[in-house]
Amino acid sequence: MARSNRSSIHDKVVWLTGSASGLGLHLTECFVRRGYNVVATDIAIDQLMKVAKERMWPQAQLSLHKLDVRNGDDWREIRDHTLSRWGGIDYLLNIAGVIQPGYLYDVSESDIDIHLDINVKGVMLGCQVVSEHMLQRGSGHIINIASTAGLAAVPGIGLYSASKFAVRAYTLALAEELRPYQVDVTVICPDAIETPMLDKQLDFDEAAMTFSGGKTLTVEDLERAIFSQVIKKKPLELCLPLDRSTMAKAANIFPGVTQYLSAQLRKKGLGELKRRRETSG
């Protein structure tokens, strides 16, 4: 299988999920402004179309689609439309995700379903559908967004943490399977990012650990990491920031560490939660 000779950015096609808000919206904007051909997808298609119009994204390099990441038919239909229009897919960024804080002994069945269906199944379906094309072409790069919560178990957001563990494990396995075919795979594990997903956790004391790191990442931090490191160097894994991800990996290797640190981190996180609530109120 020969690698694609599509060398110009203006020939590159990138498919993003979760494009209507948060990190997905910011990164979609970044790829559009850099001149890529962009397949922007989200289940909230009306919101996505409104944003595209307001920001005057050029139609010539844009393809908007409603995508329920849980639906394989949606994935295949958009893939086939993209191949028909632009002839290939160079990048897939799986960004769409959900979080519902809560203690595991008290979560609902629907909470379990939505975390596994969107955060895990959605990523798996996208990777499978797009990798079929990339395998045939002999090139491509799949980028999955996991979390530092996928490096160490986080009490209070246990369902989210479990789903991101799954995303990371799946991505690392997929990378080894696709490596012989010159298809690159990267998993990004960021700490908390200033997005609506973070804001949603403000009302939940259960989510205190999310806010225990002090300074949070911004969407611009992820932008810089993706364009300066991930796309250029194609690492297997990128964890941000280094100090929090190192601590998380240590806690994963030595689970007893979590028991020692949890009380301290929760106390710190509750303090930050209080500060944010007072500021926003």
Active site residues: 160
Q: Is 64 helix (H, G, I), strand (E, B) or coil?
A: strand
Q: Are 17 and 78 in contact (CB under 8 A)?
A: no
- Alpha-carbon torsion (150, 142, 44, 191), positive or negative: positive
Nearest to 14 by CA among 72, 74, 61, 84: 61
- What are the angstrom distances between the C-alpha of 217 and each of 59, 119, 234, 240, 275? 31, 20, 21, 8, 17
Q: Are 140 and 131 in contact (CB under 8 A)?
A: yes
Q: How far apart are CA 186 and CA 190, in angstroms?
A: 13
Q: How far apart are CA 114 and CA 240, in angstroms?
A: 26
